[in-house]
Structure 1
Amino acid sequence: MSAELRDRFFALSTGGAPADEVARYLAEVDAVDTEPAATLDGLGISWHPTVRFKAVRFVDAERIDADVRELFARPSQEAPYLAAVFVDPRELSFRTFENIVPLDRLLADTPLDLDLTRRAELAEGAYSFSLRLPAAARGHLERLDALNLYVPPLNSGSRGGERFIFHSAQLAEALTKAVAKALPQPLRDGFSHVNPVFRCNRFEPGDANFHRHRDTPYYDAERHHVSRYTLLLYLTGGSATPALDLTGGVALAEIEPFTCVIFDQRYEHEGAPYDDGRKVFLRTELIFTFTESEVTHDPEIGALFGKACYWTGESVFAPELARHADAYYNQVAAAHWSALTPGADREPFVHKQFRGVHFVANGYDFWFAKSDKLSLAECAAITLLDYFNCKLGDTSFRALCQSEVIEADEADAAAWIPGFLQDKRGDSAVPPIDKSLLFPEPEEANNECCPFHSWAAFDATRSEDVIELYTQAQTFAKAHILPAPIVMLGEDVLLDPDKFVIRGNSIHVLGKESLTPVNFAACWNAGGLPGNYIDIAATVDTAHFLVPPIFFTESDDCYHLRFDFFRNSWMVKHQQVTIPVPMVQDGVCDDGDPYPWRYAVDEVSLFTDNASDRGKADLWWVDNPAVEDEMRDVFD
């Protein structure tokens, strides 16, 4: 049945099926609930749709666990290396909102000698060109539409048509060379490159317009990069009234195939489907280098951008929030080029309850009722779990919350929220933990040799060789667990108060640099070597956060936390890593892995490490050089 659900999904996605057939299929999907087949980018993935795993994504099949890889469909004949996976939308976070499909392989052997010719100035800061390119390259770009990689965007309510997002360094590099030659000289100053992330948009006649909006600029504070111009490349031609409307600039009614339009991102614009055929175009932006003197920072813009992103995630649970997110994005995009204009008087808030703790949030502000059982560290921990939608066990934080949307005057928030929360105080949901309890001291060694020579008297907990290995394993696990401000034992959330440092009116969250997400699972097997006796006492999820300080104020009744994780436009790092805690078993079993704890560490490296590059390690109990290097650093 699972295979049938998978195959019928792609058969029905081509369109044309009767509505009653689609309805029956959706009902069958809603009746199926299974566990994920694997984990990718922190998301559980299924190879067929279920009641939970409904959002389809396309990923490089080599990134899926080899044991289950063949279960996943390869729906694109043009790009057979892409596998279709289904994810739970409730698990999405800032890192995973968008599915960026890797398409560099598609163009790897194709000459991309591009020229932008016939430059025409449409308006101030807006130009059109004709793209000249080899026939093979033209054919590959024309077939992008036929890849059938379109997925509904999170803002589908405010835009017509379909789209998918892809990454192609080759196409961006070729366009960078062409743009650098074709731009008027004043626009070349500071030009760095074309963004390698492209959006492929498709509209059919009769689709809704992509409503009037401004494109949100790309911004990288560390590299001093900012986008200033949008690039549209029309793969098909047609006419509409108009097909592209730049407010205050020009309206294009006729567009030829492979027309390229470049315009200043200050322009508000709207796109309409062609009247006479399918409209397919690519969108990206031109990236420029800026100096510090060219940029100023407005905290209110950062706050609004944070709210927009937060409501994008919350719209999975409350679709009515999508319109607020869209309005905020537009307001922020305009504010990057001019002063921030006032928004609506009434704004959304969400009231959440997590295991008895009530709080109100809007993506920038988080309010908690004060009580003897709720500390500032707990407030900060819950804020982080909510903001990044961390997984507790197998469930995302937001899915564990009871939520309701409230619309109110933002200016009056300080007046109504404390009273609203006053009667909703609950017990602590994030108690402190003494991490040393995860690492009990080993027993004293005896003089027994090994289970072969001392079978009746052998005690693994007192074996000198086992104790030595156990101590090394503990050292490794401690190096990752002790610095973590938050740990999760299944769905139990615990915090380390020492990692939440309160200075003045700010909360500093301490932790090491984020690590690549890993998941460990292991069993142990028969054998007489020390590694056979080091098993997993607990599987601990650790959340490491690299975030700016969280500012707070407090009244008699309420804590009010404020923070801008994006700092206007750039995003902070957050990863979640799972660490196996070692324990000594007094005995061996007859199946599973012979070295359970070691295999748990080695199965998925804490670092990006190509399995084909792994060699024989000097440490006899570690097979992965990347892990070996880390352990050596720990031991040294």
Structure 2
Amino acid sequence: MSTELRDRFFALSNGQAPADEIARYRAEVDVTDTEPATTLDGLAISWHPTARFKAVRFIDAERIDEGVRERFARPSEPAPHLAAVFVDPRELSFRTFENIVPLDRWFAGAQGSPPELELTEAVELTKDAYASTLRLPDADRARLEGLDALNLYVPPLNAATRGGERFIFHSALLAEALTEAVAKAMPKPLLDGFSHVNPVFRCNRFEPGDSHFHRHRDTPYYDAARGHVSRYTVLLYLTGGSGDPALDLIGGTAVEDIESFTCVIFDQRYEHEGAPFREGRKVFLRTELIFAEAPEVTHDPEIGAQFSKACYLTGESVFAPELARHADAYYNQVSAAHWNGLALDDAAREPYVHKQFRGVHFVANGYDFWFGKSDTLSLAECAAITLLDYFNCKLGETAFRDLCESAVIEAEDQAWIPAFLNDKTKTKDKDRSKPESKDTGNGSGNVGTPAVAPFDKSALFPESELTDDVCCPFHQFPQFDPTRFDEVVDLNERAQSFAKAHIMPAPILMLGEDVVLDPEKFVIRGNQIHVLGKESLTPVNFAACWNSGGVPGNYIDVAATVGAAHFLVPPIVFSETEDGYHLQFDFFRNTWMVKHQQATVPVPRISSLAELDLYELEEGASEPWLEAVDPSIVDGGSGKRPTPWWADSSPLLDELYDYVSDYEYEHYGEDEDDEDDDEDDGAGEEGAGGA
């Protein structure tokens, strides 16, 4: 049945199926509920549509787990390396809104060479706008023309304002070829500071009669770390035709007739719009020219605030379509502000989202987050909920957005919010005073318990038992106690150090559907909340008679799987009144995109083997904790450094036995026996890594 649903989806996607047949198919999908096949980039994925998994994406098939890879369709015959997956729209966040399809394989020539492209000398259309013609060999022309036939189009999030269809793809090879062509064809003054063509392309398709691509400005690309900014938009028309007009640069010029393989490059200050061709399909690529940052570039915090609102409301608009027009307006304000300063309409009504998470009411717009004050709600808890909401983190297998009740409210100002939340908080506290009252949020939780509870993470890592002097499980069977055997205890402590290095710095942990926080990671200084964590997950550094009866790894089981959320965010500005808290997040600061990492970490514990099968152990039994951290441990790794005699070498065991972790060094000091251990292991100075 699932395979049939998968295949019928693509059979009905050609736009020619009768409406009643499509309606019947959608009804079948809406009553289909299956578990995800696997996860990718933090998103659960299915190989066929279901009531939950309705958004189709195209990815490199090699990124899918090999065990289920063949179940996913390869709907694009010309590009068989692409697999179609279905995701849950409720799990999307600003990091995963768009599906960027990898297409370097499509454009690779002999020995992976880039296409051979040449642009004719640019002709000025109007001030800071130019046109030229792309010349290229037949094979490369066929690749560009063939993009339309790949059938990778998906409805854009802002479909109501842009018209047509599009897909986004990445090709460093095409960008490399265009960079060289632009450098030769464009006027020298335009190229001052020119670095490269952006390798992310948008392929747009319009049929006659489609809605116009509404009047807008392109949001400039900006990368503060590299000092890069885009200044010119590049439009490469793969088909030719006439429109009313086909391209209108507001205040500059209007182009009615466009030949195929015309390349138009114009300053991103221009507002522009375009109509479909009167006859024939209109297909064009859009990207931009990237320049080294100019001295005149400045940074306006209010632009970052508007951009945060736009991103946040884009995600919310998936299930509240009325927010799409507001998000689009914010994007246009931001785009204009990059060139002309920020101009806000004071009379415009703004959208807000009222949410309830496990009894906590708050109002958000993507930059401002308001919370009502109560005796049970701390400032750290407000900060944690804001992070979970903004990044739409997953609690267990459920996206935060799914655990909230939400409603959109439009208002002319923010004055109503404190009284509104104060009323909701009083109602909640009144209800919670009744023994029979229940939490009205979608999430689990008992009455009176915090929505995000503080948690002592050291409870996950109990101290080891005293070891005895037994020889091995074979000679002590059946009285063998793995919790007191020195080599099992040693491996468990190393595994604990491994897990601690990931878990202890995390400000927020996910324990199944429960979420807890470490109050010490939310530091309040003045009017700022600093969220502490580690910038990235780094390698964890750590510094015999084993007869039949297994090896230590058989006895180290997984006590719990903990989701550790590490955030790299700017300080959170807050203000406090008698009624509540007002938090403000400038994630983008108009210069940079915030990062965050969410990972699952298995916590080790020592377990007994209930029925010790000596013959099974001789052939290699399960090593649950080691396998949970690194599934490749089953087949042995490729590490080159020595590990205990009982284990095959693997990167994980290399980490456990060759280095002392930063966490371990900081909290326990240097191991006095490290030199001897390294000498015994034969690791030498290089293997010790300065332990």
Corresponding residue number in structure 2 for 1:599? 627
Point out where structure 2 has 5 or more consecutive residues left out of the alignment. 430-447, 539-547, 665-690
Corresponding residue number in structure 2 for 1:585? 607
Which one of 265, 271, 275 corresponds to residue 274 of structure 2? 271
Corresponding residue number in structure 1 for 2:327? 325
Does the 8 Å CA contact 1:622/1:628 hold for their aligned counterparts? Answer: no
The superposition leaves residues 153-194 of structure 1 with CA deviations (integer Å, 9 ceiling, x where unpaired) of 111111111100000001001101111111111111111110
The superposition leaves residues 103-144 of structure 1 with CA deviations (integer Å, 9 ceiling, x where unpaired) of 001111265221111422111111111111111111100000
The superposition leaves residues 333-387 of structure 1 with CA deviations (integer Å, 9 ceiling, x where unpaired) of 0010012112352100011000011100000000011112111100000000000
Does the 8 Å CA contact 1:593/1:599 hold for their aligned counterparts? Answer: no
Q: Distance in 2 between matches of 1:563 and 1:604?
A: 40
Corresponding residue number in structure 1 for 2:510? 488
Q: Distance in 2 between matches of 1:340 and 1:416?
A: 30
Does the 8 Å CA contact 2:119/2:133 hold for their aligned counterparts? Answer: yes
Does the 8 Å CA contact 1:36/1:46 hold for their aligned counterparts? Answer: yes
Query: Which amino acid is the alignment partner of residue 255 of structure 2?
Result: L
Q: 1:425 to 1:566 in 2, by over 3 A?
A: farther
CA deviation after TM superposition for structure 1 residue 403, in Å: 0.4
Q: Distance in 1 between matches of 2:638 and 2:362?
A: 48
CA deviation after TM superposition for structure 1 residue 615, in Å: 3.9
Q: Distance in 2 between matches of 1:626 and 1:184?
A: 55
Does the 8 Å CA contact 2:352/2:364 hold for their aligned counterparts? Answer: yes
Secondary structure at 2:415 match in 1:
helix
Whether 1:544 and 2:570 are equivalent positions in the alignment is no
Corresponding residue number in structure 2 for 1:191? 194
CA deviation after TM superposition for structure 1 residue 418, in Å: 4.9
Corresponding residue number in structure 2 for 1:521? none
Q: Distance in 2 between matches of 1:19 and 1:173?
A: 44
Q: Distance in 1 between matches of 2:416 and 2:510?
A: 33
Q: Distance in 1 between matches of 2:454 and 2:4?
A: 47
CA deviation after TM superposition for structure 1 residue 564, in Å: 0.7
Query: Which amino acid is the alignment partner of residue 86 of structure 1?
Result: F
Whether 1:553 and 2:575 are equivalent positions in the alignment is yes
CA deviation after TM superposition for structure 1 residue 626, in Å: 6.4
Q: 1:283 to 1:82 in 2, by over 3 A?
A: same
Which one of 466, 469, 478 corresponds to residue 456 of structure 1? 478
Query: Which amino acid is the alignment partner of residue 124 of structure 2?
Result: E
Corresponding residue number in structure 1 for 2:443? none
Whether 1:501 and 2:523 are equivalent positions in the alignment is yes
Query: Which amino acid is the alignment partner of residue 299 of structure 2?
Result: H
Corresponding residue number in structure 1 for 2:499? 477
Whether 1:239 and 2:265 are equivalent positions in the alignment is no
CA deviation after TM superposition for structure 1 residue 633, in Å: 4.1
CA deviation after TM superposition for structure 1 residue 452, in Å: 1.4
Does the 8 Å CA contact 1:501/1:510 hold for their aligned counterparts? Answer: yes
Corresponding residue number in structure 2 for 1:625? 651
Corresponding residue number in structure 2 for 1:576? 598
Q: Distance in 2 between matches of 1:217 and 1:223?
A: 15
Q: For 1:118-129, what aligned pairs fall within 5 Å after superposition?
A: 118-129=121-132
The superposition leaves residues 261-312 of structure 1 with CA deviations (integer Å, 9 ceiling, x where unpaired) of 0011111111111111001000000011114x31211111111110000000
Corresponding residue number in structure 2 for 1:37? 37
Does the 8 Å CA contact 1:511/1:544 hold for their aligned counterparts? Answer: yes
Corresponding residue number in structure 1 for 2:363? 360
Does the 8 Å CA contact 2:502/2:537 hold for their aligned counterparts? Answer: no
Whether 1:345 and 2:348 are equivalent positions in the alignment is yes
Q: Distance in 1 between matches of 2:575 and 2:656?
A: 41
Query: Which amino acid is the alignment partner of residue 362 of structure 1?
Result: N
The range that moved more, 487-496 or 410-419, is 410-419
Q: Distance in 2 between matches of 1:424 and 1:238?
A: 62
Q: Distance in 1 between matches of 2:273 and 2:78?
A: 31
Secondary structure at 1:13 match in 2:
helix
Whether 1:310 and 2:312 are equivalent positions in the alignment is yes
Query: Which amino acid is the alignment partner of residue 325 of structure 2?
Result: R
Q: Distance in 1 between matches of 2:139 and 2:636?
A: 33
Which one of 228, 252, 256 corresponds to residue 255 of structure 2? 252
CA deviation after TM superposition for structure 1 residue 510, in Å: 0.3
Query: Which amino acid is the alignment partner of residue 114 of structure 1?
Result: L
Q: 1:352 to 1:13 in 2, by over 3 A?
A: same
Q: Distance in 2 between matches of 1:630 and 1:364?
A: 42
Which one of 333, 336, 348 corresponds to residue 334 of structure 1? 336
The superposition leaves residues 229-260 of structure 1 with CA deviations (integer Å, 9 ceiling, x where unpaired) of 10000000011111111111111110000000
Q: Distance in 2 between matches of 1:210 and 1:604?
A: 49
Which one of 398, 401, 413 corresponds to residue 398 of structure 1? 401
Q: 1:418 to 1:594 in 2, by over 3 A?
A: closer
CA deviation after TM superposition for structure 1 residue 569, in Å: 4.5
Q: Distance in 2 between matches of 1:613 and 1:142?
A: 44
Query: Which amino acid is the alignment partner of residue 322 of structure 1?
Result: A
Query: Which amino acid is the alignment partner of residue 599 of structure 1?
Result: E
Does the 8 Å CA contact 1:515/1:576 hold for their aligned counterparts? Answer: no
With normalisation by structure 2, the TM-score equals: 0.87
CA deviation after TM superposition for structure 1 residue 450, in Å: 2.2
Secondary structure at 1:628 match in 2:
helix
Query: Which amino acid is the alignment partner of residue 220 of structure 1?
Result: D
Q: For 1:218-237, what aligned pairs fall within 5 Å after superposition?
A: 218-237=221-240
Does the 8 Å CA contact 1:116/1:178 hold for their aligned counterparts? Answer: yes
Does the 8 Å CA contact 2:161/2:213 hold for their aligned counterparts? Answer: yes
The range that moved more, 175-184 or 404-413, is 404-413
Query: Which amino acid is the alignment partner of residue 392 of structure 2?
Result: N
Does the 8 Å CA contact 1:91/1:396 hold for their aligned counterparts? Answer: yes
Does the 8 Å CA contact 2:555/2:607 hold for their aligned counterparts? Answer: yes
Query: Which amino acid is the alignment partner of residue 180 of structure 1?
Result: A
Corresponding residue number in structure 2 for 1:523? none
The range that moved more, 527-536 or 381-390, is 527-536
Does the 8 Å CA contact 1:527/1:594 hold for their aligned counterparts? Answer: no
With normalisation by structure 1, the TM-score equals: 0.94
Secondary structure at 1:217 match in 2:
coil
Structure showing greater Rg: 2
Q: Distance in 1 between matches of 2:302 and 2:512?
A: 38
Q: 1:296 to 1:248 in 2, by over 3 A?
A: same
Secondary structure at 2:627 match in 1:
helix
CA deviation after TM superposition for structure 1 residue 453, in Å: 1.2
Point out where structure 1 has 5 or more consecutive residues left out of the alignment. 517-525, 606-610
Whether 1:167 and 2:170 are equivalent positions in the alignment is yes
The range that moved more, 128-137 or 448-457, is 448-457
Does the 8 Å CA contact 2:374/2:425 hold for their aligned counterparts? Answer: no
Q: Distance in 2 between matches of 1:600 and 1:311?
A: 37
Q: 1:278 to 1:368 in 2, by over 3 A?
A: same
Query: Which amino acid is the alignment partner of residue 90 of structure 2?
Result: R
Name the % identity.
70
Q: What is the aligned-residue RMSD (CA, Å)?
A: 2.0
Does the 8 Å CA contact 1:543/1:577 hold for their aligned counterparts? Answer: yes
Q: Distance in 1 between matches of 2:175 and 2:459?
A: 52
Secondary structure at 1:412 match in 2:
coil
